[in-house]
Amino acid sequence: MFPLNPPIHDWAGQRVWVIGASSGIGAALAVEALQAGARVALSARRAERLQAVADDHPHALIAPFDILDKQAWSERHDHICQHFGGVDLIVFCAADYHPERAWDIEPDRAAHTLETNLGSVYTGLATVLPAMLARGSGGIAIVASVAGYFGLPNASVYGPSKAALINLAELLYVDLRPRGLSVYLINPGFVQTPLTAKNEFAMPALQTPQAAARAIRNGIASGRFEIHFPRRFTLALKLVRWLPYRLRFPLISRLVST
């Protein structure tokens, strides 16, 4: 079957902007791209952590800012374009997560999670899309999660925010692919990050950030729309997703109780 996006085999010279590059998947993906020859702008709030990721990589550009600061997006984008001449691929990888059941929800914390995981992506899209559309090329990569496949306990705010990102990536593909842009939906399973370190339950098929970064790079090289991994875990969740509710709900409840 033909790929849904043009495959990218050669990363040399690619201009990549990674949002959330100070740790976890974002940091590992930034290093993966740099080692493949890309020029990479690394963004997150903490400049010192970005510098630690960028050390010994001459094609790295530190571009720290708070993604909840709407004004800062255009300033950072202009700064990156001055150095790189543009952005070929932006990766939205920043996220906020608190394990919480329905009765643990706090309005202010929920609003912060939604603004970080979802609202900031809209601000970023409004920032980068005009230039990409003007030249008829570019790529948007959105890191969602298998937690967005269906409702899971302990992800009362995080899960819905990731489900929204899945929906957003799908509609972006329909809108943007005919205009020359690529869209990638990235749905990881459990990855060893500061966010998953908050979990107090056993995480099946837990992967390292480096393994996740390789899976993402391979998925982009193959031109996939949805890049999900590890497949032995994500394919099982996709099967659960297709179950009727009267079968799915008891199964999820049983897994939670164990």
CA separation for the pair 99, 235 (Å, rounded): 24
What is the phi/psi pair of residue 42, to 5°? -110, 125
CATH number at residue 175: 3.40.50.720
β-strand pairing of 181-188 with 138-143: parallel
Residue 2 lies in a domain: no
Residue 115 has pLDDT above 90, yes or no: yes
Contact (CB, 8 A) for 16 and 60:
no
* DSSP state, residue 207: B
pLDDT digits (tens, 9 = 90+) for 137-156: 999 999 999 999 999 888 99
pLDDT for the residue numbered 254: 83
pLDDT digits (tens, 9 = 90+) for 169-203: 999 999 999 999 999 999 999 888 888 888 777 77
Query: Taking all residues of the chain, what is their mean pLDDT, rounded to a whole number?
Result: 95
Active site residue 122: no
Catalytic residue among 149, 158, 173, 184: 158
Residue 220 lies in a domain: yes
Residue 256 has pLDDT above 80, yes or no: no
CA separation for the pair 142, 134 (Å, rounded): 21
CA separation for the pair 29, 87 (Å, rounded): 16
Tokens (6 digits) for 131: 């230039």
Residue 258 has pLDDT above 80, yes or no: no
Residue 65 has pLDDT above 80, yes or no: yes
Residue 1 lies in a domain: no
Residue 222 lies in a domain: yes
The whole-number average pLDDT for the span 9-20 is 96
Residue 9 lies in a domain: no
Model pTM score: 0.95
- How many domains, the chain? 1
The β-bridge partners of 124 are none
Q: Which domain holds residue 194?
A: 15-257
Residue 1 has pLDDT above 90, yes or no: no
